[in-house]
Amino acid sequence: MSNRSRVTIREVAERVGVHPSTVSRVLNPVTRGRITPEVVDKVITVANELGYRPNQAARGLRTNRTSTIGVLIPDITNPLFPPIIRGIEDGLGANGYTAILGNTDNIVSREMDAVATMRARQVDGLILATARRDDPLIAEFLKDRLPVVLVNRTADADGVSSIVNDDVLGISLAVRHLKELGHRRIAHIAGPQTLSTGNARREGFLSVMGAKELLSEQKLVVETNAFSEDEGLRAAAQLISDGQEFTAIVAANDLLALGAYEAIADAGLSCPGDISVTGFNDMPFVDRLSPPLTTIRIPHYELGREAARRLIELIETPDSPARATTLRPELIVRGSTAEV
């Protein structure tokens, strides 16, 4: 037995000459008021002297609350997620909560494992950045009355709170920008339709392009099955080799746009000279590419922080209603878009 965290509430009590529960009351801000100021002082002094540190595990066992929440993300090395996580941690930390993270790689079995671990650790709630539109986990959490907030991606199910970017607005910002530059035939590299982001951006694209153009544009929408550079390359290459006429590509995210850059170069064309390209996310360093990428900036940090706040609200006010919140994205014009 090492001496880390050896000193308990009882030892403090003995040293001060009071009962352990008195010490407990002093240490809890809510109950501190009921104790004589001098006793409060003495307890605090002695606790500090002894290096007392409350044992969260013991407290959690008693109170049935751990102040720990679980966060499921696809992969922390995807540059999209660090700012979201940072936002979550800052939002939680300010309220005494701590996060445990699980990387799922979008693999269902890993997701199950991560959830099992988190529930064994008695998390008070969960934040999911991994939601698929038809995610089965969500129903399970709702049934068990385990507080959940979805972040970044939402799901089709209702009754669940979510904090996401306004994808439709974001796409319309990109399309309107291109239209102002004179573009008329605009292609879309759509993300996976199983994810709310991929789906909403595609729907947004179709809707903002307008009914008149819609029919003629349908060949100009290519779906991908992952938000990856490879898939962007494949989709853009297909668009080009199809012989479709278009002067711009709205990609459903930055990685897809990067793939489009490659396809354009491979075809001996230039961006933005021949084809303008827009991305989505404003990942780090896309301002340093050549050409610098015109894209839609999502307030990732704020997304995370809001998700944390919402979850805490849900935990501390169990019957607060589910709400779907969208945050406003912003158009960032750089060098990958030009006049026709």
Partner DNA sequence: GTGAAAGCGCTAACAT
Partner DNA sequence: ATGTTAGCGCTTTCAC
Binding site for a second copy (CB under 8 A): 1-5, 53-58, 60-61, 64, 66, 68, 75-77, 79, 81-83, 85-86, 89-90, 93, 98-103, 116-117, 119-122, 144-146, 258, 284-286, 288-290, 318
Residue 39 contact partner, candidates DNA, a second copy, none, CB within 5 to 8 A by sort of partner: DNA
Find which of DNA, a second copy, none residue 9 binds, CB within 5 to 8 Å per kind.
DNA
Helix axes 254-266, 229-241, angle to 10 degrees: 50
**Which of residues 32 and 185 has its CB atom nearest to DNA in the complex?**
32
Do 277 and 336 form a contact (C-beta atoms < 8 A)?
yes
The minimum distance between CB 175 and DNA, in angstroms, equals 54
Rounded to the nearest whole angstrom, what is the least distance from the CB of residue 128 to DNA in the complex? Answer: 25
Of the pair 20, 79, the CB lying nearest DNA is at 20
Instruction: Provide, rounded to whole angstroms, the least separation between the CB of residue 93 and DNA.
Output: 19
CB of 298 to a second copy, least distance (A): 14
Report, in Å, the least distance between residue 224 CB and DNA. Answer: 44
Q: Which residues bind DNA (CB under 7 A)?
A: 6, 8-10, 17-22, 24-25, 27-28, 31, 34-36, 39, 52, 54-55, 58-59, 61-64
In the bound state with a second copy, the residue whose beta carbon lies nearer, of 184 and 292, is 292
| Minimum CB distance to DNA smaller for 58 or for 107 | 58
C-beta of 120 vs 215, nearer to DNA: 120
Residue recorded with tokens 């008149």: 212
Both tokens assigned to 52? 């007392």
Residues 6+ apart with CB under 8 A from 118: 70, 100, 102, 126
Q: How many CB atoms lie within 10 A of CB 141?
A: 18
Burial class from Cβ neighbours inside 10 Å (0-12, 13-18, 19+) for residue 34 reads exposed
**Residue tagged 């962007």 (tokens):** 232
Which residues does 66 contact at the CB level (< 8 Å), separation at least 6?
56, 60, 121, 122, 123, 124
Quick check: 221 and 198 in contact, CB under 8 A?
A: no
Interior CA angle at 241 toward 239 and 247, to 5°? 50
* C-alpha distances in Å from residue 6, one per residue of 55, 159, 250: 10, 45, 60
Nearer to a second copy, 93 or 182 (CB): 93
- CB of 319: closest distance to a second copy in angstroms? 11
